[in-house]
Structure 1
């Protein structure tokens, strides 16, 4: 086993800093390049395996799969952690990978709450595409749960990490259970691993992202005949099509699941599949806003959003929304406006998108530094200065979260105090 503080004889430029994870197959360590001062992750086989009769086969598989992953990631695949080196330290195989800076999706949900349907689908589709490439090369991840998906810092890219390398080698010393909350029951058996295993785990991950809960374990369903609770019972706002896709991925028997990632992702809802129900608690008509968004008339839609929000809050005279009016803005109306923006921008614009970005910076009422970071991220600031409303980009090519903007800016000159309170208040609402 590697030890914190250890300099590696075969790669003396690396110093081991700390153990950051371990499982039945391997142990991961954070290390640092001494000269260049950048972090890496080093993965080694679990020490318990060295006494196993199949250890030589495991090492051979470790090398082989590491080589395949290196080939897959040599062009910097955005959604798979990059392999950058392989060596043996005192007969201990060591696989060196990039250290991905960011938050894993499990912790993100615990801290910030569930994701919108469109954002959750986007994240899972990134991982599904990465796994599809791995499956074509004969690699099954076996543990693709939210804890192994890192949302790269200051981006919307999700990176899959911690492959259970050489996990197809049968061994009594290896715990093959993975994360039980996300694992299919057949993962407990020493049988051939198929893509349907990763499909189940990814479906369970998507269940978690949109409900904040994990599905009833497959083992409990298998042994005690417990029924799966559909995700829509826990979150009524998700579409029927997404509910169906998750349930199909969580079929108890592997032969009843979609057999490839492409087949499973094909069950996901697409833009235009489901019309937004134009609900309002105060009788507001949202058809004009819907028509503007459907036609891609982003500026007209932004101005209409401002008009309807002021009318709903009865703030037309004041011309802006204060914290109290956003705190008490009718839930049905807030969700309708958000869902319209999310739907017709394919998940790029909307309150829930802005909320996620604001919270990613630790958004609180203490707005100064965080509000500036938020403004930079969504494109409301350039060169350290806030934009006038006339300089806003009313185009689908604008940065994520750029629109709607009129509800927050309101005036020709930005009022930072009102705007930051508005975003902070919005970030506390359930969207």
Structure 2
């Protein structure tokens, strides 16, 4: 350790609380921002690296990490660690980042054992959404492994775990050159082309994330890809280790961990859609555990009334209640409708809660995920032509005319599949295009 507990640094702005750990390149400390009374994490190069003749190169990489992380968290994504400041303290460069109370996915599984399928997918889906945004900004993480997935829990809210992606230390941008010349961290979760050649591509993050899901669900590390490639070792299918695992999730993991990059989904959105479709009709296998899941909310919204209405088969009242709670979640109650931004930022947990309630009590006849499956069959595009086609397929349109939700919709199980909940408001088709649905 370089700094000691209780030590004040940067003119007393930060008080070191404890050493968190580190690797060969950097060390991390938990600290208190004394002026804001805010707990933070400070990352700084290892003193041994400072003595290395190539230290200037390491320093440039550290600066680049700070810049990339700042770029990736510009929009304050809930599943990407936030960066607050970059400063110099007695010749040492320091990165101030968000402190995340909790533990890593690696530690959580080591303590809890293998996770239930729904819980594991929840965390991995959140990481996938973060990576969608990271990739859009021209960055690959390249080390999306259980130690770099932090889980934050609210002890007062059941099933409140939120995953946050940390440590962009080996992240590479998408510009040439197309390879990186350094070794990588946890090889059990990395594809061989990254380990052997340092090749950067979206499929690297897909492989790592699928490997992390493998670990979360089985409690075991997957077979090293280098051994798979050059020693002909086989990847044990996760379903062989967890017989209760759904065939679809098993297949999603195996496709994401395909040995050759060309055989994997080519974008994170594709893999998330594969993972999303794997859950259709499987939400309610274990009623007791799912009962907590379906009522979960990231913003404290109560879904008990919606559940009661759906359970009683009061479809119209449930449709109206769905609109009410969605507006409440999005803080658009005064406006009375969802705009583009509110749809894009609608919390994943709440979206899936509403969907799962509709799917359960309609026996798979209604729900957003049902509508999404139909939308994909209609072409899966976000344009008016596809919206009209979808409207025809689910009964929102008839003979080329949009029906009135108030008095022309069929609020019964005799309606076309996907007819409810009614979401054909302006921009609402964007909801179905979200990869987390």
TM exceeding 0.5: yes
Q: Equivalent residues in 2 for 1:134-145 (5 A)?
A: 134-145=134-145
The 2-side partners of 1:90 and 1:136 are apart by 36
The residue aligned with 1:345 is 357
SS in 1 for 2:109: helix
Paired residues, number? 297
**Preserved CA contact (<8 Å) 1:16 1:29:** yes
Relative to structure 1, the CA distance from residue 9 to residue 274 in structure 2 (aligned partners, 3 Å threshold; closer, same or farther) is closer
The residue aligned with 2:208 is 201
The 1-side partners of 2:153 and 2:311 are apart by 29
CA shift digits 1:137-185 (9 cap, x unpaired): 233222222222222121332111122256689998x6x2311222222
CA shift digits 1:388-426 (9 cap, x unpaired): xxxxxxxx9xxxxxxxxxxxxxxxxxxxxxxxxxxxxxx
**Preserved CA contact (<8 Å) 2:140 2:171:** no
* Runs of at least 5 residues in structure 2 that lack an aligned partner in the other structure: 155-159, 287-304, 313-352, 362-420, 422-437
Tell which deviates more after alignment, 78-87 or 117-126: 117-126
**Preserved CA contact (<8 Å) 1:79 1:126:** yes
The 2-side partners of 1:101 and 1:348 are apart by 34
The residue aligned with 1:270 is 277
The residue aligned with 2:99 is 99
Structure 1 residue 53, shift from structure 2 partner: 5.2
Equivalent in 147, 157, 162 of residue 162 of structure 2: 157
TM-score by length of 1: 0.60
The residue aligned with 2:222 is 215
Structure 1 residue 7, shift from structure 2 partner: 4.2
SS in 1 for 2:277: coil
SS in 1 for 2:275: coil
SS in 1 for 2:274: coil
The 2-side partners of 1:139 and 1:348 are apart by 39
**Preserved CA contact (<8 Å) 1:8 1:89:** no
The residue aligned with 1:260 is 267
Query: What is the RMSD computed on CA atoms of the aligned residues?
Result: 3.7
CA shift digits 1:34-90 (9 cap, x unpaired): 344432111122334335554323323322331232233244211011101101123
The residue aligned with 1:283 is none
The residue aligned with 1:56 is 56
The residue aligned with 1:242 is 249
Query: 2:113 aligned with 1:113, yes or no?
Result: yes
SS in 2 for 1:268: helix
Query: 2:191 aligned with 1:184, yes or no?
Result: yes
The 2-side partners of 1:140 and 1:347 are apart by 35
**Preserved CA contact (<8 Å) 1:25 1:165:** no
The 1-side partners of 2:260 and 2:64 are apart by 30
The 2-side partners of 1:21 and 1:167 are apart by 23
Relative to structure 1, the CA distance from residue 187 to residue 49 in structure 2 (aligned partners, 3 Å threshold; closer, same or farther) is farther
Structure 1 residue 204, shift from structure 2 partner: 0.7
The 2-side partners of 1:240 and 1:66 are apart by 41
**Preserved CA contact (<8 Å) 1:16 1:32:** yes
SS in 2 for 1:71: helix
**Preserved CA contact (<8 Å) 2:143 2:170:** no
Relative to structure 1, the CA distance from residue 278 to residue 204 in structure 2 (aligned partners, 3 Å threshold; closer, same or farther) is closer
Relative to structure 1, the CA distance from residue 263 to residue 36 in structure 2 (aligned partners, 3 Å threshold; closer, same or farther) is same
Relative to structure 1, the CA distance from residue 135 to residue 45 in structure 2 (aligned partners, 3 Å threshold; closer, same or farther) is farther
The 1-side partners of 2:284 and 2:162 are apart by 30
